[in-house]
Structure 1
Amino acid sequence: MPITFTERELGVSKMSGSNIREAMFKVAEWGIRGRLDRARGVVR
C-alpha cells in the first residue's frame, strides 16, 4: 500500500544527483561483493 503525503504536493528532493548515484553504486557494490564472497565461501 503506497504512502501518500498530503502536505507536499510539489517540491524538490533534498538529495542531490551525486548522493543518489553514490547510493545506487554502493547498493550494487554490496550485492556484487556478497555474491563474490559466497562464491569464495567467505563468512562474515
Structure 2
Amino acid sequence: MNGALGNPRALAALAAAGSAATLLAALGFQFIGGLAPCEMCLWQRWPH
C-alpha cells in the first residue's frame, strides 16, 4: 500500500476526522436545523 492508506497515523486521523464530521453534522441538524434527535441517536453520540 502506498500513500496515506499505508500510514497508520493517516488512517487514525482519517477515522477521527470522520467521527468528528458525523458528530458535528448531527449537532448541526439538532441545533441549527431544529430537529429533535431520537433516543438511539443520543446513545450513539457517546462513542464519538
> Normalising by structure 1, what TM-score?
0.59
Q: Can you give the 5+ residue segments of structure 2 that lack an aligned partner in the other structure?
A: 34-48
Counting matched residue pairs gives 30
> Normalising by structure 2, what TM-score?
0.55
RMSD: 1.2
Larger Rg: 1
Tell me the CA shift for residue 41 of structure 1.
1.8
Structure of higher RCO (CA pairs closer than 8 Å, 6+ residues apart): 2
Higher helix share: 2
Q: Does 1:32 align with 2:17?
A: no
Q: Percent identity?
A: 3
Runs of 4+ in 1 over 2 A off after TM superposition: none
